[in-house]
Structure 1
Amino acid sequence: MNHRSLMTAVAAVGALLVTLVPGTASAAPEQAPVRACADGAALHCYAMYRSTGAQGLRVSAPPAGFGPAELREAYKLPATGGAGQTIAIVDAYDNPSAEADLAVYRKQFGLPECSTANGCFRKVNQRGDATPLPKPDSGWGVEIALDLDMASAACPQCKLLLVEGDDPSFAGLAQSVDTAVKLGASVVSNSYGADEFNGMDTYAGSYKHPGVPILASSGDAGFQPASFPAVLTSVISVGGTSLTRSAGARGWSETAWSGAGSGCSAWVAKPAWQHDPNCRLRTSSDVSAVADPKTGLAVYDTYGLGQRAGWLVVGGTSASSPFVAGVLALAGHGKQINDASFLYTRADKLFDVVGGSNGFCGEDYLCTGLPGYDAPTGLGTPDGIGAF
């Protein structure tokens, strides 16, 4: 199968899935999901979303989906921390409403203001300039809104740097990552991807910045060929879980999400710090967080969605990557991190995720949530900031 066919056949890393949470008071009648981004780009955003219907733009209405307080409770995160840290979000195209929508999200959930005016928010193009910005795109706009909201949920005191690539090309987004680091990012999140391919080395250097953790979504197509850039050994690959409330001591439970990307690389050598037995080369993912659309996250986005604009409920590993990036920034130790190796020495400080599957592999750890390391959820999910 040629590279173009393979990329078409397998959903990309960081594809968003957006749906209503069933049984919530604000849920609207079932709607067919809408794919936000068109096919054909090198690096993909396959956003699927539903609006919360009758809520529309009524900001005072309680949004469906988990908000920051629930996520902090589920992952035992401190309410403060992260001052002086900058979370960089790298995406393609422009969301002209990004800052205004972020303000609505943060006000709704009682988070501190994060704006250009107070120096907390900054938006630049892939060269680091405030103008000209890329052309707007409503599909990538959903991705941008999601990324900013999830980073905010994890680290409300962190600054946010949004770097918008001219287009979803390998070269453009690689340059955007380099720009994020050059502008002082403490951690960089990438909620996009494509199937791994021969020639990844051309762009791999942009995803390797010792002292600045680089994260990428593992994908939303389940157990499939590994995805770029998450498959790179310099990148922390973030998988996905289904998060629900429970009666246990934690108050929450998680299983592997059926869509969480996992894979055994055909190209990238096994890093010395990864020791799983059934994949000779690099295995994805390393760590995870909530991603299941059915246990999804409240996101506010108004750009280009017409009557669907407003509160959305979003899922996918596109949510888990910026959230874990926020946890890393909250911990504040990024300058000591060069890759995912630190996590493999601190697995006891993560919530181990057991149960669930993202494909067919004979119930092997490569597609099944098992005790210890498994590919859909990695080493587990944040249990406070002790592992970070």
Structure 2
Amino acid sequence: MRFNARRALVAAVLAGLVLSGTTATGAQASSSPRVAGTSAVTPTESSWRPKLAPGEHHACSTAKKGQFHCLARWQPVAGGSGTLSTAAVKLKGLTPEDIRKAYKLPTKGGKGQVVGIVVAYDNPKIEADLNVYRKKFKLGTCTTASKCFRKVDQRGGKKYPVGDQGWGMEAALDTQAVSATCRSCRILLVEADSPTGEDIGAAVNTAVRLGADVVSNSYGMVEFNGIETLNKKYYTHPKVPLIASSGDAGFQDPEFPASSPRVWSIGATDLNYSAKKKAYTEKAASFSGSNCSAWFAKPSWQKDKNCAGRTSADISAAGDGAGGAGFLVYDSYLPKSSRGWIGASGTSVSAPLVAGMIGLAGNAAKVASPSYPYKHKTGLKDVIGGSNAFSADCGGDYLCTAVKGYDGPTGLGSPRGLKSL
């Protein structure tokens, strides 16, 4: 891997700064050294933000230093924005049928499985919007009354936090993406009081305590000195797969929790249907996060050569597609001028899709460790083609380009059926 001289100089300077400071969240700084051979992170508030296409919006654009940010992006859909009805309008974007066909998923399975979803803040419209989506795509209802859907605060109660339209969009996306891959799974939404490491972490532990078989986490924070403390306290659940978005800024600073060797790191692909080939095509999404952890050592089950630490991603799934329209989501909690059907993109899409697939497979406890797909590759299709759009410092290396075999943007590949899940 080739780093340019400017980046190498910045890394050298930052190494001393990162090693000497306390964490941005106030946690006790770790005495553990950085992983030898890795470059220090650049702990800037804007480092996680990808460039936006015309008309796109960040769902969580106000994250402060030391807070988790959600990774969803959205754009209006022609004929959908501002539409509060379920009229059979032809909406452009990835649908549950696209996901099922592309990834060869069975229509049945997952009954009794609980998919936990962790977000910050409240979305008061979440259950109603989920069922607009499910009705549109004939997935059946999923309500509190039927015990298919449950919403709790970070303590497991009903004292929901204040509402937030940005994180609310993330919650709408996550619940609907899980529904797209596992219509029979139950959904447990845990809303943290704030996006700090302690509050979000507490919500993860609550999701597990309340019976989640798999937990989806579509958020991230640039690694910092002391990240091991959060990892041990909140992301250590040996029998529950923790799924996390790898990030949306291409070859980037490592993002936690995806950088944890206890968490499945999910990259993103660009999924489209080719009428000429009569098949779905897939390549690395230009924004898909790939990185080399500066704090977590390389686990024994990862064998790539150019990263001394834990490498992201492990596997991937659709994070964009339908010619750039993205994944269809229904959200009536957005500002009035934008509410209705929108197109979502980012690793915030791919993570809950994979979480739903694991629920569909019904073997969550057996696949809790992210080492599982490395030992069971038969259910994955290698994604070849495409690269991170923000990877000038990578020089075409596998860490930023989807090549044959393992690579950073797409990991081992994307699912085909459930054999690797």
TM-score by length of 1: 0.92
Aligned to 1:111: 139
**Structure 2 residue identity aligned to 1:300:** Y
The structural deviation recorded for 1:346 is: 1.7
Counterpart Cα distance in 2 of 1:53 and 1:40: 33
Aligned to 2:27: none
Tell which deviates more after alignment, 200-209 or 139-148. Answer: 200-209
1:24-43 C-alpha deviation (Å, 9 max, x unpaired): xxxxxxx6333332231611
Q: How does 1:51-66 map to 2 (within 5 A)?
A: 51-55=76-80, 56-60=83-87, 61-66=89-94
SS at match of 2:43: helix
Of 255, 259, 277, the match for 2:287: 259
Moved segments of 4+, more than 3 Å: 1-5, 247-250
**Structure 2 residue identity aligned to 1:106:** R
Q: Percent identity?
A: 47
The structural deviation recorded for 1:48 is: 3.4
SS at match of 1:368: coil
TM-score by length of 2: 0.85
SS at match of 1:203: helix
Root mean square deviation of aligned Cα = 1.9
Aligned to 1:32: 55
The structural deviation recorded for 1:126 is: 0.4
SS at match of 1:177: helix
Counterpart Cα distance in 2 of 1:248 and 1:334: 37
Counterpart Cα distance in 2 of 1:310 and 1:43: 26
Specify whether residues 299 and 181 from structure 1 end up closer, same or farther in structure 2 by C-alpha distance, changes over 3 A only: same
Tell which deviates more after alignment, 104-113 or 200-209. Answer: 200-209
2:187 corresponds to 1:154: no
Identify unmatched segments of 5+ residues in structure 2. Answer: 1-13, 19-23, 25-41
Specify whether residues 311 and 193 from structure 1 end up closer, same or farther in structure 2 by C-alpha distance, changes over 3 A only: same
Aligned to 1:22: none
2:393 corresponds to 1:366: no
The structural deviation recorded for 1:337 is: 2.5
Structure possessing the higher radius of gyration over alpha carbons: 2
Tell which deviates more after alignment, 39-48 or 81-90. Answer: 39-48
Of 50, 68, 73, the match for 2:75: 50
Alignment check: 8 A CA contact 2:71 2:248 kept: no
Of 280, 299, 302, the match for 2:332: 302
Of 294, 297, 319, the match for 1:269: 297
The structural deviation recorded for 1:244 is: 1.0
SS at match of 2:396: coil
The structural deviation recorded for 1:62 is: 3.0
1:216-237 C-alpha deviation (Å, 9 max, x unpaired): 0000000012110000000000
Counterpart Cα distance in 2 of 1:317 and 1:250: 26
Alignment check: 8 A CA contact 1:93 1:134 kept: yes
Aligned to 2:162: 135
Counterpart Cα distance in 1 of 2:231 and 2:209: 17
Specify whether residues 276 and 341 from structure 1 end up closer, same or farther in structure 2 by C-alpha distance, changes over 3 A only: same
Aligned to 2:371: 341
Alignment check: 8 A CA contact 1:244 1:295 kept: no
Counterpart Cα distance in 2 of 1:46 and 1:310: 20
Alignment check: 8 A CA contact 2:55 2:76 kept: no
2:350 corresponds to 1:350: no
Of 265, 284, 309, the match for 2:312: 284
Counterpart Cα distance in 2 of 1:341 and 1:153: 25
SS at match of 1:164: strand
Specify whether residues 385 and 46 from structure 1 end up closer, same or farther in structure 2 by C-alpha distance, changes over 3 A only: closer
1:185-219 C-alpha deviation (Å, 9 max, x unpaired): 01000000111111111110211211110010000
